[in-house]
Amino acid sequence: MVFGLGRKAKNAEPAEPDESLTAAESGAGEPGIAALRQDGPFDETEISSRDGYVDLGALLITPSEGLQLRLEVEEATQRVVAVTLDLNGSSLQLQAFAAPKTETLWDEIREQIGQSVGAQGGQVEEVEGAFGTELVAKLPAGLPDGSQGYRVARFIGVDGPRWFLRGVLGGPAALEKPAAEPLEALFRKVVVVRGDSPMPPRDLLQLRLPKDASAAPPPAATTLEEPERGPEITQIG
């Protein structure tokens, strides 16, 4: 697995939640929402150990053969705002947000994303998927031959105990189920570390480089690459 550092353009802001979201506390909230998380993503209180995970601060990622990780860095502040998982030609961008104890955010975030995509001349469609209601967005984009086409992204959202996790699938995984399945499996294995500190709803949970990222890695461990610009999909929102 390769670990890289991405760099975001100055205006490449993540699609942050707009209104306060309803996140169920462990076992609390709507039964349907809790059921969607039975097989993950998980809260840190739902795992017995952090051993075997790539520790990125707010997110713990399960290593996988051929997986590349890139942290997306905001140029203006130099803070890490997202992690992108690249696998088999597709990508999954992850962001975790603070949320209230008794509300969920995903319904309102979907509406916000739809408005943002529409303002950019794109189209959105709600579909039912493995994680409940999802959003497929199509944004106008220039093709290599100079013609006009679309860039497709599939948005996944999961409400957890005082946090909200958003995933954005890009590449073939945005539309093709076989291509999406390996990344969906990795999404289910994600562990969110919310922490005990009070945070305003919708604030990004802090990501960071793994503590041992600069060390000489054993086989299948993480290594660092040169920084590069993050995926364009981070500009949605």
Does the N-terminal peptide bond of residue 41 adopt cis geometry, omega within 30 degrees of 0?
yes
180 and 173 Cβ atoms separated by less than 8 Å: yes
User: pLDDT value at position 25?
Assistant: 35
- Give me the domain span that covers residue 228: 2-235
Tokens 């997202």 map to which residue? 82
Global pTM reads 0.78
CA 59 to chain centre: 10
User: pLDDT value at position 29?
Assistant: 41
Beta strands in 18-89 (DSSP E): 42-43, 54-55, 59-61, 68-74, 80-87
185-227 pLDDT, tens digit per residue, is: 999 999 999 998 889 999 999 999 887 654 333 334 333 333 3
Low-confidence spans in the chain with pLDDT less than 50: 3, 5, 9-32, 214-237
User: pLDDT value at position 211?
Assistant: 74
User: pLDDT value at position 210?
Assistant: 83
User: pLDDT value at position 230?
Assistant: 35
User: pLDDT value at position 155?
Assistant: 97
Number of structural domains (the chain) is 1
